[in-house]
Chains A and B, each alone.
Chain A
């Protein structure tokens, strides 16, 4: 019975198994003060007004020269926004606020040790620090417009100062999350071609001063191994005059910033007027291949987009105290701690440490003490705060008007706790969906105009026209209950410009899948493939389901190949693993695992059992593979990527496609003979695949 039920579960039914949640309306007090309370906004940002609608965002900035072309589509999908326009991001986030808000706090930094004083940095002080560090960067470090500089900095005020100093010079910054290893940092240094690393000696985490500078040595060594030489390592000190690291300073390479900075006191650096399409920063994402992806974000388009969405969706007013409880090492921090809020001239709070140090009441004490009005964090943090201190918010007298969630879908149950307990039933919640590549929000509710619905991020934001496509490019209609691939039909100013140094990867990953005509210069032919699965309710709200890369749908359960493969290689003897779908009469699709063992390991059924067990343990019984094939090697491209498409062809007795570009084409025939002979011996005889099934197998693995 259970098996019969399972076979009838279709992808469509996965979605309808989730009950629709009731709406929550924003309080009247919020609507009365909201930046975006005029329903005419929807008309202004509707498709007939695209792309000129984004002038409304760009007009929030100060431009040195106005643009002549709002959107240049002459070289798709490398869109250019506000072409001809010139501006400086540092000027927009700092200088322009001096006239009215010189002595207002731009940043309030909260150190992790609770007995250490909070530091407020006014716009005037920020201006001074940014100018002095920009002078140091230019005259001491020798960087010039267009160069890349890597930061490996924790959550300290020196990070936004360094970012804005680079932006002032037109230098492209690339911040690597401070918690990453030196090796990861070194890889990003090498990929970006930076010659300067800005780091810190230490920072506090869980009550301890962590030695951070040691990672710089590892990073420099890794970069060197990859052919990139770091000329200077600039080391900020967590406590001026004291060195928190055991790692010795390397003479001629390593310099304490606080010592060198003395020579640049009071120096003023004129902001370099940059073309709107000049790159502002790189933000790396990790991936399965050896080379990380450096998402290149523009100056004008990006800054306009994060400023506009900060104003309308975060509802930031200059008099707000805004706290995005994230790390600047991620895109959320770049967009919604630094560039968006500072461009609007508000006060942005930064916190150094972990949310639960010294206890789970810490975030609410900070909110109470600083009078935070807008709070912004990730569901993982919300779940942790709920788990470790479900009643803590009630003990503190703070009052949020607005709260955001970012980074992952939030379960309705967690959403309700966030609303009722953290928000005390009085704050609106903006649930957002977007990605590192996107610069700013793509899916959300406009808080005064659209009701909240737990578990759904909302519809596309202003000027974003999302669509859900199935694998063949057919539109999955709203309200159909069917899931598919969420795509954005149009370009927008915040979209990244390219993958740094890998333009072909940019096109292949994000645009090739649904491009209708690669020669077309019409943006309508180039939908952006986000790589997330989603379902759209009849009201237009989206629920995001997670990554769609190489999903195997087993009886209605979407299993990621990466999860299956990661589970397999937890088995000590396994060197490599690849998961592929095989047509299955009972469950629609089943999983087959291909594994290779480490040198010296004797393969046999015990290994197959171990792999199957590891998958069951990590993912569940539903993921248990139909077969585990131990093969001598995997078919791979010359860059080392396993060609799942080829293996899937073998498992399904279908065409394996072109193998001439493989690094080891000979292995295909070896595997084919081994696997297909064994299947026939087991009675797993091939059947004729339908054209759709053949297409699915051919397309498998192409998501990467």
Chain B
């Protein structure tokens, strides 16, 4: 299958998340995960997406706790995009619980 585009789309969204993150540790962690996504075969992307969702939640919380409402709105939009992508690509289960993915 020509599923390489799933790798690319995930990398792209993680790139956005990395640019939006306000916390240096989160920037680093998202960068690492993006790198991992770029060298992961498409069939094995599921766990990477799950971790990305977890990290996305963390980035949103960081913005919220710092009182940065504009950043929070932007982060949640990226988070939603990540979630929709994961579900529509069949890499996340729609019914996956917040505990399983860290979705908040």
Contacts and interface: CB of A to CB of B under 8 A. Distances in A.
Contacts of B48: 566
Contacts of A179: 8-9, 11-12, 15
A136 B4 CA distance: 32
A177 B90 CA distance: 21
A456 to B, nearest CB: 14
Interface residues of B, number: 37
B88 A384 contact: yes
B65 interface: no
A407 B5 contact: yes
Contacts of B50: 570, 617-618
B43 interface: yes
B38 interface: yes
Given A380-B88, A563-B44, A406 B2 contact: yes
A435 interface: yes
B9 to A, nearest CB: 7
A177 B87 CA distance: 22
Interface stretch (A30-38, A125-133, A280-288, A494-502): A280-288
Contacts of A547: 1, 41-43
A273 interface: no
B2 A407 contact: yes
Nearest to B41: A562
B8 A327 contact: yes
A287 B4 CA distance: 10
B2 A206 contact: no
A434 interface: yes
Interface string B44-66: 11111011000000000000000
Contacts of B85: 380, 384
Contacts of A332: 2, 5
Contacts, number: 133
Among B40, B77, B81, B100, which residue has the most Cβ atoms of chain A within 10 A?
A: B40
B47 A618 contact: yes
Given A436-B2, A618-B47, A329 B34 contact: no
Nearest to A381: B88
Contact of A387 (B2, B38, B87): B87
B17 interface: no
Given A206-B81, A544-B1, A180 B35 contact: no
Contacts of A177: 4-5, 8, 11
A591 interface: no
Nearest to B38: A184
A380 B2 contact: no
B47 A181 contact: no
B47 A570 contact: yes
Interface string A452-489: 00000000000000000000000000000000000000
B26 to A, nearest CB: 15
Interface string A168-191: 000000000101110110000000
B86 to A, nearest CB: 10
Contacts of B39: 286-288, 290
A54 interface: no
Interface residues of A, number: 52
Given A181-B34, A330-B8, A547-B41, A384 B46 contact: no
B47 A383 contact: no
B97 to A, nearest CB: 9
Contacts of A205: 12, 16
A617 B42 CA distance: 19
B68 interface: no
A408 interface: yes
Nearest to A383: B88
Interface in B73-92: 77, 81, 84-85, 87-90
Contacts of B45: 566
A566 B7 contact: no
Contact of A532 (B1, B6, B12, B46): B1
Contact of A562 (B38, B44, B51): B44
Contact of A434 (B2, B12, B40, B46): B2
Contacts of B89: 380, 383
Contacts of A618: 46-47, 50
A554 B7 CA distance: 27
B33 to A, nearest CB: 10
Interface string A534-566: 000000000010110100000000001011011
B2 A562 contact: no
Contacts of B3: 407-408
Contacts of A563: 43-44, 46-47
A257 interface: no
A663 to B, nearest CB: 20
Contacts of B35: 181, 183
Contacts of B81: 206, 354
A532 B45 CA distance: 16
Nearest to A215: B15
A433 B88 contact: no
B87 to A, nearest CB: 7
A340 B28 CA distance: 41
Interface in A379-393: 380-381, 383-384, 387-388
Among B7, B45, B47, which residue has the most Cβ atoms of chain A within 10 A?
A: B47
Contacts of A290: 39
Nearest to B35: A183
Contacts of B12: 179-180, 205
A383 to B, nearest CB: 4
B2 A435 contact: yes
B36 to A, nearest CB: 8
B43 A560 contact: yes
A656 interface: no
Given A179-B8, A183-B35, A384-B88, A287 B47 contact: no
B4 A330 contact: yes
B92 to A, nearest CB: 10
B55 to A, nearest CB: 11
A326 interface: yes
Interface string B15-37: 11000000000000000001100
Interface string A612-624: 0010011100000
B13 to A, nearest CB: 8
Given A332-B5, A380-B88, A560 B11 contact: no
Interface string A407-419: 1110000000000
Contact of A181 (B1, B38, B87): B38
Interface in A594-644: 614, 617-619
Given A177-B4, A179-B15, A433-B1, 4 more contacts: A206-B81, A331-B2, A387-B88, A618-B47
13 contacts: A206-B77, A286-B4, A286-B38, A288-B40, A331-B2, A332-B5, A380-B85, A383-B89, A388-B84, A435-B2, A562-B40, A563-B44, A566-B47
7 closest A-B pairs by CB: A179-B12, A562-B44, A566-B47, A383-B88, A384-B88, A547-B43, A177-B8
Interface of A: 177, 179-181, 183-184, 205-206, 210, 285-288, 290, 326-327, 329-332, 354, 378, 380-381, 383-384, 387-388, 406-409, 433-436, 532, 544, 546-547, 549, 560, 562-563, 565-567, 570, 614, 617-619
Interface of B: 1-9, 11-12, 15-16, 34-35, 38-48, 50-51, 77, 81, 84-85, 87-90, 100
